[in-house]
């Protein structure tokens, strides 16, 4: 089935979208307290200052340097900031990236570089319009730069989540938390049928290379939880002692749990005999946030599922549950074909925190499965792999398979509260390692 085309934007629209993405980026960096931009709250990521330079470097390299062939005003920074890191969390091995300098450039120089690139990009909107090839490269190139910025905004947010409170500033505009009780979950039966994964290059306004080409797969019948697992439900797993029993874990997951000395999800902490939840700017007694979705690594989600005699969904099962309904028709979003909005899910920084599961019933899929887009990415147990006819955007980059399609990264679908609405589309695939516990990632279970 051909889905509606995403609407292209004119030059003014493109500039507006860039400006609004940059304002959000600036809001995010402003959370880091003064003097703390060299902090590195997650050992597998660069310090914050790298990302201040990386976002403009990527944009410059793609558009001004790449398509328009403009002469760089800072080739050193174009290279230094061109690529981040994603080490194998089990071995520490990392793909190619520019050598990490003994000292990062000064903040003043990095901000100057950022501002120069932003100015150049605003001019590039018109310039690229005059020189664009017939394949709507303008829309695609700018959307790529925007989506790269959006994805990094989210990774910055989960780095900030790990940054100690005293190293960050609480913004004045935060929405209020909600703590109401969650409705009970139930099993929803999804009959056997087809699921369309990926997308047709011709159909969409923009997608990343790993989203193409589309493929139709047969999915056997399964039942799926109507709601994701909450902190309250996961607490039962911990409280029963099962989290510490090897029998529920896969061998490599168990090894990781022991090596990391994990006794609970990364967002929880235990003081004395009491459990607490560490949100971005506040600590709550765990029972206050019992209705929020639990954020865990895939390894922990698998152990929970095994404890209750279920398993994690596959990518194809997610698609069946999200984009189909009892009438067999496919829809663009779980709720239908209207563009993502506040009532459909907790994404696009609507809340700056999780909200109680089941708070946005208007976002339910036509089977009645809720929260498939928003409030936390949905973990699947499908290894991240190319669809048939995959063709990398960067032809000269030979390591795509070794670095990402490595059997150690798994597909996540949907969106979190820190995911821009532009990324809420069926084709979008996120991917993380099973032993990477920092993501705003929730899960639900399925049964054959």
Extract the tokens encoding 94.
């990392």
Q: How far apart are CA 88 and CA 91, in angstroms?
A: 6
Minimal distance, residue 86 CB to Fe ion, in Å = 10
Q: Which is nearer to Fe ion, 150 or 268 (CB)?
A: 150
Nearer to Fe ion, 154 or 381 (CB): 154
> Cα–Cα distance between 184 and 226 in angstroms, integer?
9
Sheet holding 268-271, edge to edge: 268-271, 274-278, 283-285
Find the shortest distance in angstroms from Cβ 83 to Fe ion. Answer: 7
What is the size of the binding site for Fe ion (CB under 5 A)? 1
Residue list 199-238, contact with Fe ion (CB under 5 A):
none
Minimum CB distance to Fe ion, residue 152 (Å): 6
Q: Compare residues 84 and 386 and give the one whose CB is closer to Fe ion.
A: 84
Distance, CA of 220 to chain centre: 27
Which range, of 21-29, 67-75, 81-89, 206-214, touches Fe ion by CB under 5 A?
81-89
Read off φ and ψ for residue 419, nearest 5 degrees: -100, 130
Closer to Fe ion by Cβ: residue 25 or 346: 25
Smaller CB distance to Fe ion: residue 107 or 151? 151
- In the complex, least distance from residue 214 CB atom to Fe ion, rounded to whole angstroms: 26
Which helix (DSSP H) or strand (DSSP E) does residue 256 occupy?
helix 251-259
Q: Tell me which stretch binds Fe ion (CB under 5 A): 42-50, 76-84, 330-338, 390-398.
A: 76-84
Q: Helix crossing, 107-131 with 137-162: angle to 10°? A: 160
Least spacing, CB of residue 148 vs Fe ion, in Å: 6
Report CA-CA distances (Å) from 346 to 129, 278, 351, 356, 397.
35, 19, 7, 10, 35
Tell me the window of 83-91, 178-186, 337-345, 407-415 that interacts with Fe ion (CB under 5 A).
Answer: 83-91
Kindly state the DSSP code that residue 52 receives in the 8-state scheme: H
Q: Is the peptide bond before 182 cis (omega within 30 degrees of 0)?
A: no
Residue among 57 and 357 whose Cβ is closer to Fe ion = 57
Residue nearest to Fe ion (CB): 84
Binders in 84-103 for Fe ion, by CB under 5 A: 84
Q: How far is CA 360 from the centre of its chain?
A: 20
Residues near Fe ion, by CB under 5 A: 84
């Amino acid at each position: 089935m051909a889905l509606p085309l995403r609407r292209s934007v004119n030059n003014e629209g493109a500039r507006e979208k860039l400006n609004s993405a940059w304002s959000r980026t600036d809001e995010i960096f402003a959370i880091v307290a003064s003097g703390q931009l060299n902090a590195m709250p997650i050992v597998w990521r660069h310090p914050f200052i790298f990302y201040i330079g990386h976002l403009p470097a990527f944009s410059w390299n793609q558009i001004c340097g790449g398509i328009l062939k403009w002469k760089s005003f800072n080739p050193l920074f174009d290279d230094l900031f061109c690529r981040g890191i994603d080490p194998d969390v089990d071995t520490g091995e990392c793909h190619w990236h520019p050598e990490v300098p003994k000292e990062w450039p000064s903040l003043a120089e990095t901000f100057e570089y950022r501002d120069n690139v932003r100015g150049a990009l605003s001019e590039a909107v018109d310039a690229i319009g005059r020189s664009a090839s017939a394949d709507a490269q303008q829309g695609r190139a700018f959307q790529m730069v925007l989506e790269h910025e959006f994805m990094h905004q989210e990774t910055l947010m989960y780095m900030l989540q790990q940054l100690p409170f005293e190293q960050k500033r609480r913004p004045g505009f935060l929405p209020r938390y909600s703590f109401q009780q969650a409705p009970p979950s139930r099993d929803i039966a999804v009959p056997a049928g087809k699921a369309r994964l990926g997308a047709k290059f011709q159909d969409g306004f923009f997608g990343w290379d790993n989203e193409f080409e589309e493929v139709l797969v047969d999915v056997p019948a399964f039942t799926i939880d109507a709601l994701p697992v909450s902190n309250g439900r996961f607490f039962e797993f911990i409280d029963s002692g099962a989290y510490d029993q090897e029998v529920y874990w896969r061998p490599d997951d168990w090894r990781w749990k022991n090596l990391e000395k994990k006794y609970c999800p990364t967002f929880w902490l235990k003081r004395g005999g009491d459990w607490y939840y560490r949100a971005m700017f506040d600590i709550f007694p765990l029972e206050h946030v019992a209705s929020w979705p639990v954020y865990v690594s895939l390894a922990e989600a698998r152990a929970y599922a095994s404890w209750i005699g279920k398993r994690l969904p596959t990518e194809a099962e997610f698609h069946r549950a999200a984009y189909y309904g009892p009438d067999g028709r496919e829809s663009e979003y779980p709720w239908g074909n209207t563009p993502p909005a506040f009532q459909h899910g907790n994404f696009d920084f609507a809340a700056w925190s999780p909200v109680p599961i089941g708070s946005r019933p208007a976002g339910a899929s036509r089977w009645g499965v809720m929260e498939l887009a928003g409030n936390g990415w949905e973990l699947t147990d499908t290894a991240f792999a190319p669809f048939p006819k995959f063709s990398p955007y960067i032809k000269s980059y030979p390591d795509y398979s070794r670095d990402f399609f490595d059997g150690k990264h798994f597909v996540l679908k949907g969106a979190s509260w820190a995911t821009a609405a532009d990324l809420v589309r069926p084709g979008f695939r996120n991917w993380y390692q099973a032993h990477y516990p920092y993501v705003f990632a929730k899960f639900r279970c399925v049964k054959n």
